[in-house]
Structure 1
């Protein structure tokens, strides 16, 4: 009897061991993605201790240190800059291989670089000239300066370009048929129908899609690039915009609850390898706007009405005989910033796939903290957790996997752009795929089932959609996906730089919501189950990209 009992226990133990041994590496990694794992990371990364993670600020450096520590704990190796002794001599690591021992520079988790921070210096002026008459206006009285990256002086003809929008999909090109190179453009704020939510063009361009308004703003910004435009004048219609620029004559230190909008937001730029061609943008008061409208013979009311109705065949208007002269002064300094880069080395160390998310957010101001739980601590946690899962799988992927958390996204997608110019690992031409996470933890207003999310992928790689759908079904993930393909996906997140380098992408986003870029974007509002399933699916997508073929 004892012998039979021993045999039964032994056989049971063998079965358990064999059962565990049969779990595939991919599934082992998937099991490492848990609610507790993402909660622990997100609750800390979006806490007040991180001070809003503004680019270049103390909170961003604290966040970067935390992320690097988690990569080390999870088993992803450092893949940033070479370590050094006092910044002079590189630290070397001993490696053994078929050719014997060798020394190679040790890596850190940090890719350090600088951004140029610029703020208006005061004393800028604008002159409007026509028929021998000149009107001169001062900064802070009749106009404000934005998007100025260096001191600028010019005098140029003016062209009215409507809303200054290019949206070919909706038949809009406000620059068609006119040469704006070397000129100042004059434009209206908003887009066709923006002031009337019942208008045909508002319904066509926006409808009930909150995200579409932000996309329209991005398209306006992109529409002025690479056209040789010297300056942009944004008109003000029926709005006392000057009250934003007032100052108190006494020390009026308001309580945080009473304080107004941000006062400390500064623009930054990445030097790159060429002088920036981005035009200076100024916003003028209504009285200066009316001067340009009157002297330029512009019928703004009729234009806005026809544009909202969708009946307008707009052609840009060169304002004959009218020039604008800018003298813009800015204060600039170089600010130290850093990305965090880690790697799980593959069997082929010279082929790469990457996953990334921006870790920066909006910082602090007026006694408030923009903690950015969804934007984009959620995406950052996805990247860290997927690194954990790949390490837990216990096998080397075929291609090396680079895990990236970017800085400078809120300033202009600069962290990812810098990496694609100066990759800390390999050559950018050796990158075969990029997976991006941005805002993956919230629900849209119409998401009553709390399971909606969107992905955009490179159209030439249809297998990416097949991989996505099959994994949702196979692993019973509770996700209702809006899957879109684009020839060259670009937008307001870090996949743009990879698309511009001809690298196929998948870009994740769950929802746009009213807490976007507000101090109210807090961890208490997170949909944990949706976030968990998105991270699981992201891991499965990346597994296929790292180990199989995606085209």
Structure 2
């Protein structure tokens, strides 16, 4: 059931003018206020108020914010971890200090459930085949699939994807190639529902491929909520470990009644939880304040890992303390405005991005602001490295947001920035950051990104490697763009072909 929106007529608390915030502003270098002296010379049509708001976004502020989030004491902000919780609460305190409203009742934190799972101990697993040439399969040649557990026995029945259901009570065995393994796994639930008591996926795999699967399954994985327990044992087995007659039957697709199997697998589950942090500013237009522009970045990283030159803390300064710090700066900048933009603004830092876009996926399924009334998602992930004058805007050709961004750049040459399309389509970055969970729900998106680098997902992604002036200029660009989108008469529109490709259906 969707939560009721908090009353959007609540007065914003002091709009960032708390004593602590005021003292910090007084302590800033005088140079940051220089742009205010030039307001009289601004081109017509550019709001002095918005220029003043943009001027609060500074390289010095970003240096402090990224330094706090990516400090060694934060231990890489893994999902889940106490340090990630600390980051979420730190951001919540900034939102409260600026005068943003909490999005979930009286809390800035949106909690969501996680389950960690992995294949259990090999000593608790068994695969035994009775019949010509059969016996107990060596544990090095089979592997429990996480989610399946228990013990079952029955006659072996050969099945194929999309084929007839196995006889009730049978142990189903399906031959798969390395390329077909995923499709085979996706068919397991249907095979069990069709009457099988266990499933074996016989994979023709070289040593390195099977070893890679083993490392993946034995490593703890995260899922939102409680993953489906298959209620029956499921395992991968190397085809070479099966009896010769059974291998021949699998190769030909011919059935055999000569074998029975006993399968026992074990999976380990642990319940966890994580947070997203959300604050919002009510729009100033009574007719448009029920529509929302959502700014996102992920506050998690990959935690502590393999030491490199004695350093095991993967700080994640660029990925994505840079984007998270930008969200904090944007929240402060918009909160400083005497008159907010016409539409409401939502500032969302999510967790679990590095584990599969988990936090944004939870929000997309449990939105605190209706997605149908969310006119745009502006996502920020890694904006602190590489070129000094260039930013990639992934999704710019999918909607009129791209046109609005180009107009914004033309009107703000002082930013010294150029926008380019995604130069790495083969990397599929479109599907690898949190905007995707908004796009697949039909929300127009832009993903601001400056590319990976030699320190990507390594312990050298440290605060001292960030280009702070560039990061500040990109954040100011997103401020001006967000203001323009929030004040526009019309909401952004999808390109129909892009909508069909990303969302499906006939488009808008």
**What is the CA-CA distance between 1:363 and the residue it aligns to?**
1.7
Q: Check whether the contact 1:114–1:335 (CA below 8 A) recurs between aligned residues.
A: yes
- The match for 2:393 among 452, 455, 459 is 455
Aligned residue in 2 for 1:369: 313
Name the SS of the counterpart of 1:517 in structure 2: coil
Q: Check whether the contact 2:76–2:314 (CA below 8 A) recurs between aligned residues.
A: yes
- The match for 2:178 among 180, 184, 188 is 188
**What is the CA-CA distance between 1:384 and the residue it aligns to?**
1.3
- Give, in whole Å, the separation in 2 of the partners of 1:325 and 1:452: 60
**What is the CA-CA distance between 1:267 and the residue it aligns to?**
1.1
- The match for 1:239 among 192, 208, 220 is 208
Q: Check whether the contact 1:451–1:478 (CA below 8 A) recurs between aligned residues.
A: yes
- Give, in whole Å, the separation in 2 of the partners of 1:509 and 1:318: 50
- Give, in whole Å, the separation in 1 of the partners of 2:39 and 2:477: 27
Question: Using a 3 Å threshold, how does the CA distance of structure 1 residues 505 and 343 change in structure 2: closer, same or farther?
Answer: same
Deviates more, 1:236-245 or 1:45-54: 236-245
- Give, in whole Å, the separation in 2 of the partners of 1:180 and 1:37: 63
Name the SS of the counterpart of 2:455 in structure 1: coil
Q: How does 1:122-133 map to 2 (within 5 A)?
A: 122=121, 123=123, 125=125, 127=127
Question: Using a 3 Å threshold, how does the CA distance of structure 1 residues 349 and 474 change in structure 2: closer, same or farther?
Answer: closer
Name the SS of the counterpart of 1:350 in structure 2: coil
- Give, in whole Å, the separation in 1 of the partners of 2:47 and 2:84: 39
Question: Using a 3 Å threshold, how does the CA distance of structure 1 residues 27 and 156 change in structure 2: closer, same or farther?
Answer: farther
Per-residue CA deviations over 1:382-435 (Å, capped at 9, x if unaligned) read 2111112211233222111111111122222121121122223x3332222111
CA RMSD across the alignment:
4.5
Question: Using a 3 Å threshold, how does the CA distance of structure 1 residues 17 and 374 change in structure 2: closer, same or farther?
Answer: closer
Question: Using a 3 Å threshold, how does the CA distance of structure 1 residues 473 and 427 change in structure 2: closer, same or farther?
Answer: closer
List gaps (5 residues or longer) in structure 2: 1-35, 166-171, 192-198, 494-508
Question: Using a 3 Å threshold, how does the CA distance of structure 1 residues 237 and 335 change in structure 2: closer, same or farther?
Answer: same
Aligned residue in 2 for 1:329: 266
1:547 maps to 2:491 = no
Q: Check whether the contact 2:148–2:229 (CA below 8 A) recurs between aligned residues.
A: no
**What is the CA-CA distance between 1:222 and the residue it aligns to?**
9.8
1:483 maps to 2:482 = no
1:270 maps to 2:224 = yes
1:433 maps to 2:373 = no
Aligned residue in 2 for 1:535: 475
Q: Check whether the contact 1:454–1:509 (CA below 8 A) recurs between aligned residues.
A: yes
**What is the CA-CA distance between 1:341 and the residue it aligns to?**
0.6
- Give, in whole Å, the separation in 2 of the partners of 1:438 and 1:293: 51
Q: Check whether the contact 2:137–2:241 (CA below 8 A) recurs between aligned residues.
A: no
Q: TM-score, normalised by structure 1?
A: 0.64
Q: Check whether the contact 1:236–1:283 (CA below 8 A) recurs between aligned residues.
A: no
Per-residue CA deviations over 1:269-289 (Å, capped at 9, x if unaligned) read 1128x9489x999777xxx36
Q: Check whether the contact 1:237–1:289 (CA below 8 A) recurs between aligned residues.
A: no
Aligned residue in 2 for 1:525: 465
Aligned residue in 2 for 1:151: 149
- The match for 1:350 among 261, 285, 290 is 290
Deviates more, 1:40-49 or 1:234-243: 234-243
1:442 maps to 2:388 = no
Q: How does 1:204-215 map to 2 (within 5 A)?
A: none
Question: Using a 3 Å threshold, how does the CA distance of structure 1 residues 264 and 137 change in structure 2: closer, same or farther?
Answer: closer
- The match for 1:414 among 340, 344, 358 is 358
Q: How does 1:388-407 map to 2 (within 5 A)?
A: 388-407=332-351
**What is the CA-CA distance between 1:370 and the residue it aligns to?**
1.7
List gaps (5 residues or longer) in structure 1: 1-14, 83-106, 160-174, 192-219, 246-260, 299-316, 444-448
Q: Check whether the contact 1:125–1:136 (CA below 8 A) recurs between aligned residues.
A: no
- Give, in whole Å, the separation in 1 of the partners of 2:87 and 2:97: 15
Aligned residue in 1 for 2:103: 79
Question: Using a 3 Å threshold, how does the CA distance of structure 1 residues 512 and 484 change in structure 2: closer, same or farther?
Answer: closer
**What is the CA-CA distance between 1:42 and the residue it aligns to?**
0.4
- Give, in whole Å, the separation in 1 of the partners of 2:138 and 2:388: 51
Q: How does 1:92-103 map to 2 (within 5 A)?
A: none
Name the SS of the counterpart of 2:395 in structure 1: strand
Aligned residue in 1 for 2:116: 117
- Give, in whole Å, the separation in 1 of the partners of 2:252 and 2:293: 48
Q: TM-score, normalised by structure 2?
A: 0.69
Q: Check whether the contact 2:235–2:265 (CA below 8 A) recurs between aligned residues.
A: no
- Give, in whole Å, the separation in 1 of the partners of 2:119 and 2:321: 30
- The match for 1:48 among 72, 88, 94 is 72
**What is the CA-CA distance between 1:375 and the residue it aligns to?**
1.6
Structure with more helix by fraction: 2
Question: Using a 3 Å threshold, how does the CA distance of structure 1 residues 483 and 130 change in structure 2: closer, same or farther?
Answer: farther
**What is the CA-CA distance between 1:507 and the residue it aligns to?**
1.7
- The match for 1:359 among 285, 299, 303 is 299
Per-residue CA deviations over 1:216-259 (Å, capped at 9, x if unaligned) read xxxx97997689677767664253976998xxxxxxxxxxxxxx
1:499 maps to 2:439 = yes
**What is the CA-CA distance between 1:526 and the residue it aligns to?**
2.0
Structure with more strand by fraction: 1
Question: Using a 3 Å threshold, how does the CA distance of structure 1 residues 320 and 31 change in structure 2: closer, same or farther?
Answer: farther
**What is the CA-CA distance between 1:45 and the residue it aligns to?**
0.2
